[in-house]
Amino acid sequence: MVVPLRLLVLCWVFGAGCSQSSPPWFQNITTNLFNSSGDILLGGLFPINELTSNLSHRVKPDNISCDRINEHGLGMALVMKYTVDEINANSTLLPGIRLGYEIFDTCKQSAVIVKPTLLFLTEDSSRELAVMCNYTDYATRVAAVIGPSTSEMVSVIGKLLGFFLIPQISYLATGDMFSDKSMYPSFLRTVPSDKRQVEAMVYLLNRFQWNWVAVVGSEDEYGRQGQRQFSTLAAKSSICVGYEGLIPTYRDPQPVVKEILDRIAEAKVGVVVVFSLAQPARAFFTEVIRRNLTGVWVASDDWALHRDISTLPNIHTVGTIIAFAVQSQTLGLLTPYTRELFSRIREEMTRQPSPDTESTRGMNQCPDCWNLSPDNISLVTEPILLRTAFSVYAAIYSVAHALHSLLGCNANSCLRGAKSKLYPWQLLEVLKKVNFSLNGSHFEFDSNGNPNIGYNVLQWVWRNNSLSFKDVGTFYKNLSINNTLIRWHTGSTKAPESTCSSECGPGQVRRVKGFHSCCYDCIECLPGTFQNVDIQCTQCLDGQWSQVRSTNCTKPTFDFLTWSQPESLGLLLAMLVLLACQGAVGVLLLQHRGSPLVRASGGALGGVALLSLMGGCACLLLFLGQPGELVCRLQLPLSSIFQTVTLSTILAISLQLNTFSLIKKSNSSGDIWMNTSEEDAGICGYYVQERPSLSQYLAKMKVTFVRKFLRCPVEPILGLGLMQGFNGLLALTSFMCTFMAVKTVRQYNLARDITFSTLIYCVVWVVFIPIYTGLNDKDRSIVHVSVSLLSNMGLMVAYYLPKCHLLLKKPELNTEEHFRTFLEGAEATPQEEHDQGPGGEGQGPM
């Protein structure tokens, strides 16, 4: 009656802590925190206390003082006690078998952890460790070891336990080197290895395109290995580590931390990965807060939820903290169990105030634990403990399920009883293959002793000076993260940038500067090259070209004077107007074809010259539209021949004017016209023969452009010079001959028309030469057509319009007498020569 009554009183005092839903096995809770007898013992290694001795002054292998409680380590030790009690209360997992435990403090010191490890290795219940050649039939004091908590501690005892093949299951040690079964054959763990954590971190950095970061680790096995693995994997993922630093763990960290932060500031990184234990991380962030630095901090699992950092004053000012915490489950009965346990401890303390009695032997790992009460319930309600408790829980349950298989148990009994010999190597073989369901989740180890557990991605979020850890994603084999849940310290919904150099644009390649591939200058790809890879511009293939900053090469595109372009329309309009004028002149001359003026102007040859002018105007249409093989063959020769016919006619007339004073009128005009036309035809034939075809011209063209104006090839340029030069020579000869022409009085001055028409022609084409040589292909075509039209118009205006003026305005002068000299070939009389003067009628009407 005493125990139930006591429970009722406790339930009344502590309310919800002892609700009616508490399981019956709570009545069997003992106050021995660190040891409990059983048929099979488990060894527990937890950092229950913190070091208070100065190891640098230690000169004897005597006792080491660890007198300050480590609340997190004590909380995990309590989880082991809770888990063992829960398993013993389960009548179907190990029926007839009672698990016991011996928990020891590691103080997170190598010099401390060796002692309990040696005790675990003693034979059965003795305290002797025999030296033997063969330990196959050697039954150690404990069947398995749970712990320790850090990679540093595992590296001290892991090989020793591996020699005896005692199963060692760590709940927090994450060093990847322990996955090497040749070095640590008996090591398993219930947390992922640092290799997986590093993979998760690199995934995170790539997700937000952070490729310029710093990584800081603690100067211990955990930090060094994590930093090394991160830097290696980051380099493979095109992430540059701008700075690496280690925070001292066993000496004053402040001087080193200051130097680390100086180097981080110099590197100008926006993201820092802190792969550290909690205590070095606390020293690091203390200085970060003092300097008022802000940024993105990526937290490794050891300090991700640790109150040593989360309780730092003004920790909320450092920026955005994204943490990786091992995926876990909530242990629903842990809090009421602990409250019941603490209540019993306080009750015993009330009844037995002296801690030196027999009932307090279990407190030797933690003398201050005798003062525990329900007021200390925060030991198991802290966020970090709630998230790490499951790792301890799963470690002990994996041993229990392995024992269930090894002992041949069913729901009622076990084939091998409590007194049967149990060798640790036998348990290890079964433990490696254990596969069970725990609180609704599947659990197993892989071939390297790592669990099928991933990470939760958390953000530290402050609201009204209260810290909470918000889940923003998960990682197992791939990263899944919800960007919209993250609240960046910048106030923007966009993630902060952390790059050494801005991303190069299209058509630019990287030129690395310094030793980091992420630090580079963006160099533009020059014309004729393109961006094929990030670090080098590639030359274009023959027949292709590119513009500056191109990402590909293309075959050239050719433009030409289309009919719809403004330039073409302007030239076409000028041609039509000129042709209309020439047609009107032709009609007028045709109407007066038998008149003295028309006969004196060359008669039929004058008509041929006018038709040639019209032909020369019309053939300029060949310069418009898309060039073709036939068009290019006819373009320049036709234009030249039509000009030659006109100029040959004018030359024949000018020579007749010159020879009136020497010979009688003859029939040589036709011979002159024919001979000059034949000579020009020969020059044109030479040009057509020597010039390449359009297809040959395009095939031989060196492509150094993406877009270019295409015109018919003017090659050889000597051909153009000969054709145009020959016509210029005809015009110049005609011009010179007019100065030796016969002087007429009170008659039409035909020499004047020839003088002005040939002078205009010569001036136009002489000016054409320097203009033509300085232009591009498109402008050359336009200028060529324009000059041809201008010279054509000059010949028509200066030679034919004065005659039209006479026919239309002064028809009374269109008489035989007014053109007698040119029609009859008579010599001028001395009196006529005397009367000839600048103001006489011999100047002729305009």
Digit-coded pLDDT (tens) for 228-272 = 999 999 999 989 999 999 999 888 999 999 999 999 999 999 999
Residue 91, phi then psi, degrees to nearest 5: -80, -5
Q: Give the amino acid at 782.
A: I
At 387 the pLDDT is 85
Res. 60 pLDDT band, cuts 50 70 90: confident
Instruction: Please name every residue paired with 409 in a beta bridge, in sequence order, or none if there are none.
Output: 414
Q: Which helix (DSSP H) or strand (DSSP E) does residue 558 occupy?
A: strand 557-559
Tokens 């669990």 correspond to what residue? 451
At 688 the pLDDT is 85
**What residue ranges in 419-552 does DSSP mark as E strands?**
435-438, 441-444, 455-463, 466-475, 479-481, 508-512, 520-524, 529-531, 537-539
Instruction: For the chain, give the mean pLDDT.
Output: 86
CA-derived radius of gyration, the chain: 54
Digit-coded pLDDT (tens) for 735-768 = 888 777 656 666 677 888 888 999 999 999 999 9
Cα four-point dihedral sign 288, 289, 293, 299: positive
Q: What is the spatial distance between Cα 212 and Cα 243, in angstroms, rounded to a whole number? A: 9
Q: Looking at the predicted structure, is the pLDDT value of residue 505 above 80?
A: yes
Tokens 């000016």 correspond to what residue? 767
Longest dimension (CA), the chain: 172
Query: What are the distances in angstroms from CA 65 to CA 43, 366, 599, 701, 804?
Result: 22, 12, 139, 91, 131
Q: What is the spatial distance between Cα 261 and Cα 295, in angstroms, rounded to a whole number? A: 12
At 716 the pLDDT is 86
Query: How is residue 90 written in tokens?
Result: 């389960």
Query: What is the three-state SS of 350-371?
Result: HHCCCCCCHHHHHHCCCHHHHH
Q: Looking at the predicted structure, is the pLDDT value of residue 470 above 90?
A: yes
Q: Are strands 537-539 and 529-531 parallel, antiparallel or unpaired?
A: antiparallel
Q: What is the spatial distance between Cα 143 and Cα 634, in angstroms, rounded to a whole number? A: 106
* DSSP codes joined into one string, 5-37: HHHHHHHHHHGGGG-TTS-GGGGG--S-SSEE-
Q: Lowest-pLDDT range, 208-222, 284-298, 389-403, 653-667?
A: 653-667
Query: How many CB atoms are located within 10 Å of the residue 550 CB?
Result: 22
Q: What is the spatial distance between Cα 424 and Cα 144, in angstroms, rounded to a whole number? A: 7
At 746 the pLDDT is 65
Instruction: Please name every residue paired with 771 in a beta bridge, in sequence order, or none if there are none.
Output: none
At 14 the pLDDT is 39
Domains annotated on the chain, with CATH: 33-52+64-191+331-350+364-444 (3.40.50.2300), 194-300+455-485 (3.40.50.2300), 508-555 (no CATH), 566-659+668-813 (1.20.1070.10)
Q: Looking at the predicted structure, is the pLDDT value of residue 318 above 70?
A: yes
**Peptide bond before residue 692 is cis, with ω within 30 degrees of 0:** no
Residues 507, 530: contact at Cβ < 8 Å? yes
Instruction: Please name every residue paired with 49 in a beta bridge, in sequence order, or none if there are none.
Output: 69
Q: Looking at the predicted structure, is the pLDDT value of residue 839 above 50?
A: no
Q: What is the mean pLDDT of residues 462-481?
A: 90
Q: Is 441 exposed, middle or buried (0-12, 13-18, 19+ CB in 10 A)?
A: middle
Q: What is the mean pLDDT of residues 583-601?
A: 85
At 2 the pLDDT is 37
Digit-coded pLDDT (tens) for 702-731 = 898 989 999 999 888 888 889 889 999 999
3-state secondary structure of 479: strand
At 658 the pLDDT is 64
At 4 the pLDDT is 41
At 835 the pLDDT is 44
Query: What are the distances in angstroms from CA 276 to CA 111, 391, 495, 740?
Result: 21, 19, 24, 111
Q: Are strands 212-218 and 271-275 parallel, antiparallel or unpaired?
A: parallel
Tokens 């010099």 correspond to what residue? 111
At 55 the pLDDT is 77
Residues 148, 117: contact at Cβ < 8 Å? no
Digit-coded pLDDT (tens) for 511-549 = 888 778 888 889 999 999 999 877 789 999 998 999 999
Residues 346, 373: contact at Cβ < 8 Å? yes
Q: Looking at the predicted structure, is the pLDDT value of residue 197 above 90?
A: yes
Contacts 24+ apart (CB under 8 A), 438-447: 438/329, 438/393, 438/394, 438/397, 439/329, 441/329, 443/394, 443/397, 443/398, 445/188, 445/398, 447/181
At 749 the pLDDT is 77
Better-scored residue on pLDDT, 458 or 680 = 458
Alpha helices in 330-449 (DSSP H): 334-351, 383-406, 424-432
Q: What is the spatial distance between Cα 234 and Cα 211, in angstroms, rounded to a whole number? A: 9
Q: Looking at the predicted structure, is the pLDDT value of residue 733 above 80?
A: yes
Q: Give the amino acid at 649.
A: T
Q: What is the spatial distance between Cα 199 and Cα 636, in angstroms, rounded to a whole number? A: 74
Digit-coded pLDDT (tens) for 757-811 = 999 999 999 999 999 988 988 899 999 999 999 999 999 999 889 889 888 888 8
Q: Looking at the predicted structure, is the pLDDT value of residue 830 above 80?
A: no
What percentage of the chain has pLDDT greater than the value 70?
91
Q: Give the amino acid at 516.
A: H
Residues 379, 465: contact at Cβ < 8 Å? no
Single pTM value for the model = 0.67
Q: Looking at the predicted structure, is the pLDDT value of residue 829 above 70?
A: no
Better-scored residue on pLDDT, 12 or 560 = 560
Query: How is residue 369 written in tokens?
Result: 């634990």
Cα four-point dihedral sign 185, 187, 191, 196: negative
Q: What is the mean pLDDT of residues 30-53?
A: 92
Q: What is the spatial distance between Cα 84 and Cα 77, in angstroms, rounded to a whole number? A: 11
Q: Looking at the predicted structure, is the pLDDT value of residue 17 above 50?
A: no
